[in-house]
Amino acid sequence: MKLSKKRVRHTKGMDITPMIDIVFLLLIFFITVSQVSETNREKLELPELKGAKDQKKTSLVVNINKAGEIVVAGNPVQLADIAFLVGNELEANGGDAAMVTVVVRVDQKATCEVPNALVKQLASQGISKVRLAVQVPN
């Protein structure tokens, strides 16, 4: 009786587990970053304007909805609280008001009282770079 030896097959291959881990980490990172950038933008109906440029880097994004409520980073704030937020941005930029850019996004159905009061408050703090966001028509 002849007994056969078991053959051990050695396959040389690459372990792709670390690569899969990195891909999942990158996926989670990009999903998180895209959600954070969307928090600054409330769903507003912006006025349309031809020839508008994409937004450049901004220090602070202030949203004003059609009810006249001010929303910053997804949180409703009062007009008086904007002074505190702008003060934080000024401190982060070494007190240089020229380095702070504020983008004001106003719903096209909102009245002009709140945006005007906001711009006056920003001007009283020395902020001269205030941009109004518009939507480019298709």
Report yes or no on 22 lying in a domain.
no
Report yes or no on 9 lying in a domain.
no
Report pLDDT digits (tens) over 60-79.
Answer: 888 888 888 888 888 888 88
Say what the pLDDT of residue 20 is.
92
What single-letter amino acid sits at 21?
D
- Please give the tally of structural domains in the chain: 1
Report yes or no on 23 lying in a domain.
no
Report pLDDT digits (tens) over 12-22.
Answer: 777 888 899 99
Report yes or no on 69 lying in a domain.
yes
Report yes or no on 44 lying in a domain.
no
Report yes or no on 97 lying in a domain.
yes
Q: Domain holding 73: CATH number?
A: 3.30.420.270
Report yes or no on 11 lying in a domain.
no
State the average pLDDT for the chain: 78
What range does the domain containing 115 cover? 60-132
Report yes or no on 38 lying in a domain.
no
**CA-based angle 124:63:87, to the nearest 5?**
35
